[in-house]
Structure formats: C-alpha cells, structure tokens
C-alpha cells in the first residue's frame, strides 16, 4: 500500500510528540474547545514557499511537537502564518504584528 510522504511524517511527529501532547491536552482542553479547534483553519507558507492549511487543532499538535514552532508538513522548514484573501483565495503575508493589510496584494481588493 502506498502511503503519501506527508502521512508518514505526520505519524512520526505524532509519535515523537506523544508525552508532551497528552500533558497539553489534559491541562487546557475541553470537548467544546476540541470541536472549535477542529473547525478553525489556519494558513501557512514555509521557508520553501509551500503553502498549506491545517485545522487549529493540527497546528497546536505540530507546534507542540516542535517546541512551539510551526513546521511545514512537506519539508519540515519553519512556516509562518498567512491570511487567505476572501476574494481571490490567495495567501497574504500579515503586516506588523499579525495584522491583515488594508488591501490584498494579489487582487487589490480592500480587506
């Protein structure tokens, strides 16, 4: 059976994170929080320009496994959070301290 590389990496990361992950879950999560985190999507671009998105729950899991750093599921490079333009769906780099720019750099629509 062929397993995509991303899945294998994910399983390895999850195995490595095991201990810390359970501590984190027991300390701060409730069932309703889990539900919310599974529905929230966060977007990222890694240092090698891979664009990807994950649920907030996966983001927490991956960053917890990497000392709080977000890593690309494809190449393991550090990744920065992005916003998705509601008009053209392209990813937008935040300005300043995680703020949305006034207009999309791709389609020039006001945000």
Shortest Cβ 36–Zn ion spacing (Å): 26
Considering only the stretches 13-21, 36-44, 62-70, 75-83, report the one whose residues sit in contact with Zn ion under the rule CB under 5 A. Answer: 75-83
How far apart, in whole angstroms, are the C-alpha atoms of residue 22 and residue 99? 32
What one-character DSSP code corresponds to residue 90?
-
Shortest Cβ 79–Zn ion spacing (Å): 7
How far apart, in whole angstroms, are the C-alpha atoms of residue 108 and residue 94? 15
- For Zn ion, the binding residues in 28-57 under the rule CB under 5 A are 46, 48, 50
Angle, helices 56-65 vs 31-39, to 10°: value is 100
With CB under 5 A as the contact rule, the residue among 87, 94, 100, 103 that binds Zn ion is 87
Task: Look up residue 2 and give its two tokens.
Answer: 């062929």
Q: How many CA atoms lie within 13 A of 11 on its CB side?
A: 5
With CB under 5 A as the contact rule, the residue among 13, 59, 65, 72 that binds Zn ion is 72
For binding to Zn ion (CB under 5 A), which residues are involved? 46, 48, 50, 72, 74-75, 77, 85, 87-88, 104, 106-107
């Amino acid at each position: 059976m062929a397993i995509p590389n991303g899945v294998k990496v994910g399983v390895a990361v999850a195995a490595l994170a095991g201990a810390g992950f359970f501590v984190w879950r027991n300390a701060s999560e409730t069932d309703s929080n889990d539900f919310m985190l599974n529905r929230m999507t966060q977007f990222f671009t890694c240092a090698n320009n891979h664009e990807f998105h994950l649920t907030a729950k996966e983001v927490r899991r991956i960053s917890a496994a990497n000392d709080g750093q977000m890593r690309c599921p494809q190449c393991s490079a550090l990744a920065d959070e992005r916003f998705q333009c509601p008009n053209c769906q392209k990813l937008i780099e935040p300005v300043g301290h995680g703020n949305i720019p006034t207009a999309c750099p791709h389609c020039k629509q006001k945000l």
